[in-house]
Amino acid sequence: MRALSKCEVAQKMDFRIIASTSEDLRILVSTGRFSQELYHRLATVDITLPPLRERMEDLEELASHFLERFASVSGRAVWEITDEAMEQMQRYLWPGNVGELETVLRNSVLRSEGEVLEPHHLPSCAAAASPEPLATSADNSVRLQDVIDHHVLRVLKDCGGNKLRASELLGISRSTLYRMLDSGVSAGSLR
């Protein structure tokens, strides 16, 4: 029996890679934080999916999907969402996107007592009204840092001051949230 050479062992493979990110890779490439060569290899087909707040018509179908999944996983018979609960969810801007919706519905199913998900089962951040708009300067411009600060504070307020929950919804670590709060975002501005 003869040994096989490397050339004889190699086989041709055909596969596809699907990658997903919430970051704009073009910006990361331009700042040197992502490999340009890797970006061009991955970006053969670019599908941009707008955030949930820009496609609220999908909310009901997504909510039904998550409700069904979590009801079956948790062994609870929660199969319906009241119109009032759905209206509250539609008024919310979902800063944590579809991942936040998934978490909210998982928690809501666990909090429910019957077969119908009601408004009081929703966490306070999802049942809250949309945040008020930022104040703008005379030329209608807003500093990016002010937008970030406002958003962080609003999410923190909507989560009742729970920093762990707020950091999860913001997609940042708790230590990053603490650093942001220490470096200028004032928790006292939570009105």
CA distance 137 to 139: 5
| Number of C-beta neighbours around residue 140 at 10 A | 6
CA distance 158 to 104: 13
- Partners of 117 in beta bridges: 81
Tokens of 150: 């406002």
Sign of CA pseudo-dihedral 149, 97, 25, 173: positive
Sign of CA pseudo-dihedral 119, 123, 128, 133: negative
pLDDT for 127: 55
What values do phi and psi take at 177, rounded to 5? -60, -45
pTM of structure: 0.53
CA distance 140 to 27: 25
CA distance 14 to 86: 44
Query: pLDDT digit string (tens) for 117-165?
Result: 888 888 876 655 444 455 555 565 667 877 788 888 888 877 777 888 8
Contact 155, 95 (CB under 8 A): yes
Instruction: Give, for all 191 residues of the chain, the pLDDT tens digit.
Output: 677 666 666 678 888 888 888 788 888 898 999 999 999 888 888 787 888 888 999 999 999 999 988 888 888 888 899 999 999 999 888 888 888 899 888 888 888 888 888 888 888 766 554 444 555 555 656 678 777 888 888 888 777 778 888 888 888 888 888 888 877 654 444 43
Residue with tokens 């992502």: 34
Tokens of 145: 């840092």
pLDDT for 190: 42
Residues contacting residue 25 through CB under 8 Å, at least 6 positions apart:
34, 39, 42, 43
CA distance 51 to 59: 11
